[in-house]
Amino acid sequence: MSLYKKKLFEHYQNPRNYGVIEGYNFKAELTNFSCGDSVLFQALVNNNCFEKIAFQGQGCIISQATASMLTEYIINKDFDFVKNLSKEDILNMIELDLGPMRLKCALLPLEALNIGINNLK
């Protein structure tokens, strides 16, 4: 198994920031109905900055591992930072080239966060 696949599998088996945040003031969720992947983020946000974030979800290794990696990547980052993340940033983060269907799995967590940010404004 290559190194990047090990990284993804590690985040899937031992997700970072998985769970619930009591008293959250940010919530974002999204489901990909074509494959059944889903993700739900809860966060404590102060001055448009993610001070603490957690996720729950179900689905494939790619969607759930990406959600885990994103929670680590955006902690203490502001909304503008998250909104400026691109498909290429996600692909670099997960270190994997994906076809169109699997790309949707990887982008699901970022799309959920952007919807949540837009709903707050």
Q: Are the CB atoms for 42 and 29 separated by under 8 Å? A: no
pLDDT of residue 97: 84
Q: What is the model's pLDDT at position 1?
A: 44
Task: Give phi and psi for 87, each to the nearest 5.
Answer: -55, -40
Q: Looking at residue 3, what is its pLDDT?
A: 54
Residues shown for the chain = 121
At 121 the pLDDT is 67
- pLDDT (tens place) for every residue of the chain, 121 residues total: 465 588 899 999 999 999 999 999 999 999 999 899 999 999 999 999 999 999 999 999 999 999 999 999 999 999 999 999 999 999 999 988 888 889 999 999 999 999 999 998 6
pLDDT of residue 82: 98
The CATH number assigned to the domain with range 3-120 reads 3.90.1010.10
**98 CA to centre of own chain:** 17
- Domain coordinates in residue numbering, the chain: 3-120
Q: What is the pTM of this model?
A: 0.93
Q: Give the full edge-to-edge strand order of the sheet including 38-46.
A: 26-31, 38-46, 49-58
